[in-house]
Structure 1
């Protein structure tokens, strides 16, 4: 029985080698007609290179070399592929023999394709094309398959098609080919392996047919590698959306609507809404009505314009809870350039919003009292002043300073002081109107900003009520404390057209209230304006005076009361102003402290004192100590000790030749910090002295810890040594100093009686007009070099 034309010469033989059927390709290749083939066996056509036993189990699916005995008399070198006729190994009996001519002959496939009217069509298919017999070998294919498998046409028919796939897919391939033979068709996806490692994922569709009386399968394999890659990318994207910690919504654009098509689990967890109950709804159902209107309008504009948008707004959860969300919406564009969907990513920022609000509150409010701080006060004062300067109502600013807070703080401790500040803050807050502002600037300084009061009389009445509220006793630890307060008021824009001028005016009025006996209310006045103006001029001139070296040092000698010898001096700064003449320290030192000019001024004083010590050393004066007053601001400078060490080195001065005087109140303002600062100075080697001793509220426990060398008796305790009260205090200070192994110096000694008292009670040193006022450097040098002594 003949076979339909195939590109390869094929014989079907039984187990004995008898030819059962063949195709036209074999007749054409061998040159025999049907009658010459019928009835013969394979050995009559083929001469093998080596003796073989045909169709033994070892030769099944083998490749054999030999010569085809052609009718025209010349043997043709060929290769034979022998394989069972069926892929089912349980039904043996027939074998397919594919006869493939070797070099020198045209490939049968190409010759046969020339006879096919569909040859060109098969060759140009955008997929692989194949015909497989029941043995699993190729009978026909196109060049696309050769390209995919990276093999030549001679290699393809000799290999079982299952070998073109990964070993893990061999059984799947066989099953699908058998399914096509048994069921008529099959389809599957598999990855073809090229000879050189190329991998191509194909979708195979097979159909059963028969060529002559030989069953076979033909089919196509469509390269779906790109599609598989895309599918994998989509799966990854889908998984990413599913696993994202951010909530994701996908809406579909349809007829002007944007309806929910998908939400991920994070959205369900964040909002409480499940996809099943909200699919097909507009996401706007979650919005908080009447809020964030500007943000909602931005979203509407973006959706209409098919563009992205980023907003932060509030929505409502299924539970009714309101939450802040950071929302990013972006369009999805298809291959035609049309927007088909929108993807929205939501991040719950409720906690960060609340944290920002807390930070904002902390940045604008005092931590201890909860009142507005300086920053918030300035913002509100700026707004109120702008309104007043542009036709709005006037305002009032009141500075409030507690009169007795320092005494309370020093006597009862900082915890008690904090409790008092909180109570005063509550009283001030309760005593003003809702639109007024009460602020704490620090320490015991409060400010009240009255917004658009009707007139000055109303301001005066309100502040008097506040003063009485503050003046009421505060019950603390079973004791009643009276804080009291002085109020200074400035009206704006009358008393100032800038925030700085208004605050200065109120501050000046408050200090005026202090000078009038405290616990009263004073308004800024024309006279005060003149005083404040003088204050400003003095401040400006002081800065210039430091730069222009208008400051001079005088040195008041210190005398050893046992020998009468001058052993040191205190450096006292004076200002020789070209306009005002000599300005006393009581005039400019407070201003220097307030403005911070005390720091450069103090540095200059230390430098001049060191220069004087160096000058005395060149004259042969040794064991001489110059003391310099140290301000609280200088003591708080971070690098003060390093700077001082540098100054001493520059002047080649021994550290113990310099004595730094700090007041008792400075030390007790913050004892822990003062102890640390003094320890650093002591480590440097300078001498330390407590000035004005006895005027503060020092703790003896702290006094023992401070690494000081000297205490100075304040002049107020030597005013009348005949008075038993002053004498008792002075004697106690001398005794205390000596018991603590400290030197004791009395300052402000002006009379013989005072000197005798100090000598009688073994005070170590004295200074004062009784012996000498402050002297210029040259006169001090002369006195020391000539060993001028006080008669003792």
Structure 2
């Protein structure tokens, strides 16, 4: 390749200024033959515009741009720019200098005109890469347009800069080393980023080779833009790291003659299955399958793989140690550049714990956690099924309501641990006497229900119930003491006493109540004599209506305490009936009547109005953050424009909605979850707080629970009866964790012991209420307690 007509004349001179070598451009530009230049001094050829100064002439001009005149052989004086640079890339020629002479603008044809004289000029300019020639001083002698674009510089700027300054400071030692290597060994290769004048960075693969231009040794080379490759490599590394670090197991298989062989598994796969990649490489993943298990799902997977389609399945596999695990599996095909499917990627999400948790939640939703018996939800399902079956078969169904006598006395005198022990023992005795197909349920604190399907006769029912009564009343041994529970039982029959589950349950409940009025510890069938009981029920209903009108109802407030600070932060409003004749009637006697008759609606409105008045009084005393909780009934939630009326009440009292908390039970929400969701949304829009009461005693699917816009969940007191009981520990911890995972605060109610407080604090429960701190108080006593900042002791 002929590079003689270069636009840059380069002399190499010693410290005294004697020319030791030069390139062809020198001869062409100055017009001197090589014989004349040899031994010539730089002063003979170049006249600098400014005097050199006191230091040696050449050294004084190093690393600086100078102006001067090139004295040509034919007498012409050509204006030039001169760059003097030490031969820094050749340590063996220390003290020698490169003198680069560049004609000033207009003196000679531009660089492109000179290049066009070259046979390869077009090739150099059209190369899909940068092209360069560098002398031993590290300066450019020749380059193409792509290099100017990469460096964001004009042609006149390039010769005056040492090439190492085109790179990041940290890369410069490598650049110098590679150029020196090319000078010494003939070639070198390296990757680096060129940094443009305005900061643009471009990654290149540089390849250098040694050559000489005339007598001037130099290096020429190319730089291929590898930015896209670098970006692709980075993307591959990121994706590889993501696969490697994924918590989900990932397996990649390659297709080979209809078979799918393992090519790669990530560490999560090795951790979940117990198999290492070295053990299973080349095997079909089906080896982990369990014969005869989840065959339908496995068939779907095989069919999808044959069709080379994506598929998702949930199935069980076996770990290396033999344990079975559930996995949510997603498989997707991978095609090559020609569109042929060559691999499949499987992502395995180990859902074993989730499955177990679902089963625990399902069991919890349908069973009583203390006794393991069916709860009210499961009982109602089984009762409906039994009645439907009996209607078609013409058979009979018996339902027995069983209530322990004096259970409150047992709790008060022997403690709640003894009460829980009696309940568990009662449940066991009921199991021992009932048939396997019958249903035993616990539907309240000390209330059990027995469902007997297709009994032989009335006499057989009576014999069974009497045997159960005697079994339950047998003494229960607790810490060396005998406890005699006793029980009252009421029995109703289908179809004699009702044709719906609700009627049958009401009849059995009435019969049980009648058994209690007859002196307890006996059983009664539902009969016409119970009309008197119904009459008394109606009288209670009439009295309740009057009591609401004539303000016989009173509100007490049970304090709610922050478990972290011990501070009283709110209270639950509890309604009481101060009867003029019977005295204080507890809510468990009149609330069910209010629910059944619809009187719960005006009663609930009165309670909300009173609670708002109490909040207003609290605010007047400077207690702006105090929150009062009010229980809502299902009937209230179903009232049209309930939210609008509540908003009017809040505005009338001037109460901040955030200070009012509305409690609804889990079972109320799940009766009609979609309707409940709409009402709760309206209430939340007002700004009030919402909580789920008696959490864990009803049935809530997680999907519904996440949708309800609630702020708190309240742990039912039944889960705290005995904090030393493993079942309670697991369930209570699970409820607290579930609440916090859903960003809800958790309140424990019915807290009565120091051990319960310690347990709740240990597991980060947010608030508590219960007799351990305080019973329900009148409003004035509550205000005094808050004013003096009475706190829960540490």
Same fold (TM over 0.5): yes
| Contact 1:193 1:200 (8 Å CA) reproduced | yes
Partners of 1:389 and 1:119 in 2: how far apart? 102
Secondary structure in 1 matching 2:92: coil
Q: 2:138 aligns with which of 136, 140, 152?
A: 136
User: Is 1:421 aligned to 2:432, yes or no?
Assistant: no
Q: How does 1:76-87 map to 2 (within 5 A)?
A: 76-83=78-85, 87=89
Q: How does 1:22-61 map to 2 (within 5 A)?
A: 22-32=22-32, 40-52=40-52, 56-59=58-61
**Aligned residue for 2:167?**
165
Q: Per-residue displacement from partner, 1:193-214 (whole Å, max 9, x unpaired)?
A: 2223322221101122334454
Question: Which residue in 2 is equivalent to 1:254?
Answer: 255
2:15/2:96 contact within 8 Å kept: yes
How many residue pairs were aligned?
595
Per-residue CA distance 1:242-286 (angstroms, 9 max, x = gap)? 444x13314144245554433333443343322222333344433
In the alignment, the residues of structure 2 paired with residue 68 and residue 25 of structure 1 have an alpha-carbon distance, to the nearest angstrom, of: 13
Report the Cα distance in structure 2 between the residues aligned to 1:33 and 1:197, rounded to whole angstroms. 44
2:279 corresponds in structure 1 to: 277
C-alpha contact 1:249 1:264 (8 A) present in aligned 2: yes
1:265 aligns with 2:267: yes
Distance 1:12 1:408 in 2: 112
Q: Is the 8 A contact 1:9 1:108 kept in 2?
A: no
Task: Evaluate the alpha carbon distance shift between residue 477 and residue 217 of structure 1 in structure 2; reply closer, same or farther with a 3 A threshold.
Answer: closer
TM-score (norm 2): 0.63
Match of 1:364 in 2: 366
Q: Choose which of 593, 596, 600 in structure 2 pairs with 1:595.
A: 593
Please name the residue that 1:65 is paired with: 67
Report the 3-state secondary structure (helix = DSSP H, G, I; strand = E; otherwise coil) of the residue aligned with 1:90.
helix
Q: Which has the larger radius of gyration?
A: 1
Q: Give the gaps of 5 or more residues in structure 2.
A: 553-577, 607-628, 633-648, 654-749, 753-769, 784-794
Distance 1:462 1:328 in 2: 54
Measured after TM superposition, the shift of residue 30 of structure 1 is 2.9
Q: Of 113, 116, 122, which aligns to 2:115?
A: 113
Q: Gapped runs of 5+ residues in structure 1?
A: 555-568, 574-585, 608-635, 640-645, 651-668, 686-792
Match of 1:154 in 2: 156
* CA drift at 1:291: 4.4
RMSD value over aligned CA atoms? 4.9
1:533-579 deviations in Å (ceiling 9; x for gaps): x876986797689769999999xxxxxxxxxxxxxx99459xxxxxx
State how 1:215-254 maps to structure 2 within 5 Å. 215-244=217-246, 246-254=247-255
Deviates more, 1:539-548 or 1:157-166: 539-548
2:685 is matched with which residue?
A: none
Match for residue 380 of structure 2?
378
- Displacement of 1:64: 3.6
8 Å contact from structure 1 (residues 313, 326) kept in 2: yes
For 2:548 and 2:186, the matched residues in 1 are separated by 116
1:249 touches 1:344 (CA, 8 Å); kept in 2? yes
What SS does the aligned partner of 1:261 have? strand
- CA displacement at 1:340 relative to structure 2: 5.8
Higher relative contact order (CA 8 A, sep 6+): 2
**Cα distance, 1:3–1:680 mapped onto 2, change above 3 Å:** closer
| Cα 1:92/1:468, change in 2 over 3 Å | closer
Measured in 1, the distance between the counterparts of 2:535 and 2:163 equals 106
What's 2:438 paired with?
A: 436
After superposition, residues 684-763 of structure 1 pair within 5 angstroms as none
With normalisation by structure 1, the TM-score equals: 0.63
Aligned to 2:761: none
Quick one: distance in 2 between partners of 1:592 and 1:50? 114
Q: Which residue of 2 aligns with 1:9?
A: 9
Counterpart pick for 1:680 among 764, 778, 782: 778
Check the 8 A contact 1:251/1:342 in 2, yes or no: yes
| Residue aligning to 1:781 | none
Asked if the contact 1:3–1:21 (Cα under 8 Å) also holds between the matched residues in 2, the reply is no
**Whole-angstrom CA distance in 2 between matches of 1:317 and 1:411:** 53
> After alignment, is 269-278 or 509-518 more displaced?
509-518
Worse overlay, 32-41 or 175-184:
32-41
Change (3 A) 1:300 1:182: same
CA distance in 1 between counterparts of 2:3 and 2:420 reads 111
Distance 1:113 1:252, change over 3 A: farther
Matches within 5 A, 1:232-631: 232-244=234-246, 246-255=247-256, 257-292=259-294, 296=298, 313-325=315-327, 343-389=345-391, 394-402=396-404, 415-453=417-455, 459-475=461-477, 482-493=484-495, 495-511=497-513, 522-524=524-526, 527=528, 531=530, 571=580, 594-596=592-594
Report SS of the residue matched to 1:155: helix
For 2:166 and 2:45, how far apart are their aligned partners in 1?
Answer: 31
Please tell me whether the aligned partners of residues 3 and 22 of structure 1 are also in contact (alpha carbons under 8 angstroms): no
Residues 181 and 675 from structure 1, CA distance in 2 versus in 1: closer, same or farther, beyond 3 angstroms? closer
Q: Do structure 1's residue 206 and structure 2's residue 208 form an aligned pair?
A: yes
Q: How far apart are 1:192 and its partner, in Å?
A: 1.6
> Contact 1:247–1:265 at 8 Å: present in 2 too?
no
CA distance in 1, matches of 2:22, 2:414: 121
Residue aligned with 2:156, SS: coil
The answer (yes or no) to whether the contact 2:251–2:266 under 8 Å persists in 1 is no
Q: What SS does the aligned partner of 1:154 have?
A: helix
Which residue of the partner structure matches residue 669 of structure 2?
Answer: none
Query: Shift of residue 593 of structure 1?
Result: 6.7
| Shift in CA distance, 637/231, structure 1 to aligned 2, threshold 3 Å | closer
| Contact 1:81/1:98 (<8 A) preserved | yes
Distance 1:536 1:148 in 2: 97
User: Which range is displaced more, 86-95 or 148-157?
Assistant: 86-95
What is the distance in 2 between the residues matched to 1:237 and 1:601? 61
SS of 2:25's equivalent in the other structure is helix
User: Deviation at 1:308?
Assistant: 6.1
- Give the drift of 1:114: 0.8
- What secondary structure does 1:117 align onto? coil
Change beyond 3 A, Cα 1:474–1:549: closer
Q: 1:164 to 1:421 in 2, by over 3 A?
A: closer
1:623 is aligned to none
SS in structure 1 at match of 2:372: coil
**Distance between the aligned counterparts of 1:66 and 1:284, measured in 2?**
83
Whole-angstrom distance in 2 between the partners of 1:90 and 1:24: 24
Structure 1 residues 41-83: Cα deviation after superposition (integer angstroms, max 9, x where no partner)? 4433322223448874445565442212234543110123344
Change (3 A) 1:553 1:5: closer
Contact 1:123 1:143 in 2 (8 A): yes
